[in-house]
Amino acid sequence: MTTFAIRQYGDPVLKQRTQEIEDIDAGVAKLVADMIETMYGAPGVGLAANQVGVQRRLFVYDIGQGAGPRAVINPRIAESSGEWTYEEGCLSVPGLSWPIVRADSVHLVGLDLEGNELSIEADTLEGRCFQHEIDHLDGVLILDRIPRQARKEAMRAMREAQEPNAEAARGAKAAAGAHGDDVAA
């Protein structure tokens, strides 16, 4: 098993729409196994293929309710309803989180690793995870879903986090809304 480096904000692969998978072959199975390992290592509750630099339409998830890890190939949201605001983080924008408005429940369709059709009704955390991962696969980041001012503060926090003056970075990060132990995907 191999783990990948998770691509961070600024990497162009995160802004690109991924390609549908036509053959679910051994390469896809290996990719899924390695992505699951990477997700658990992060740790995170979901991971999209382009977050590890692979331009293919699939994601893995485990929201930690004992069902174990799952992969969804060529996922699509067929229907969504309601509205729910929740503090959300992203493994590609580490250390920051924001309250994000999303649909409360979604109907996800796609394929499993055996090529069987999946149809999952999901709400709360699971539904949010699906929407977050599909955003990734469409080249959309959590930063595209927050107000302009919050985005500017986040950019500054990330820039300063890379500078040697760690104290200034911590201050900026707090201003931009640093998160503790909530979920990221």
In the complex with Zn ion, which residue's Cβ is closer, 33 or 42? Answer: 42
Query: How is residue 11 written in tokens?
Result: 């990497």
Tell me the closest approach of the beta carbon of residue 111 to Zn ion, in angstroms. Answer: 22
In the complex with Zn ion, which residue's Cβ is closer, 7 or 173? Answer: 7
In the Cβ-directed half-sphere of 178, how many Cα atoms lie within 13 Å? Answer: 13
In the block, tokens 């690793």 appear at 113
Strand pairing category for 105-111 and 70-81: antiparallel
Active-site residue numbers?
A: 133
- Give the x/- contact pattern for Zn ion in 10-29, rule: CB under 5 A: --------------------
In the complex with Zn ion, which residue's Cβ is closer, 21 or 185? Answer: 185
**Segment contacting Zn ion by CB under 5 A, of 35-43, 57-65, 90-98, 156-164:** 90-98
In the Cβ-directed half-sphere of 13, how many Cα atoms lie within 13 Å? Answer: 14
Return the residue of 71, 90, 129, 158 that touches Zn ion, per CB under 5 A: 90
Task: Round to whole Å and give the CA distance between 121 and 146.
Answer: 26
Tell me the closest approach of the beta carbon of residue 92 to Zn ion, in angstroms. Answer: 5
**Segment contacting Zn ion by CB under 5 A, of 22-30, 75-83, 88-96, 170-178:** 88-96
Helices and strands in the chain, H and E counts: 4, 7
Angle between helical axes of 166-176 and 148-161 (0-180°, round to 10)? 160
Sign of the Cα torsion 140, 101, 151, 169 reads negative
C-alpha 53, offset from chain centre: 13
In the complex with Zn ion, which residue's Cβ is closer, 137 or 185? Answer: 185
- Give the x/- contact pattern for Zn ion in 47-86, rule: CB under 5 A: ----------------------------------------
Q: Which of residues 110-149 bind Zn ion (CB under 5 A)?
A: none
Please give the residue ranges that form the binding site for Zn ion (CB under 5 A): 90, 185
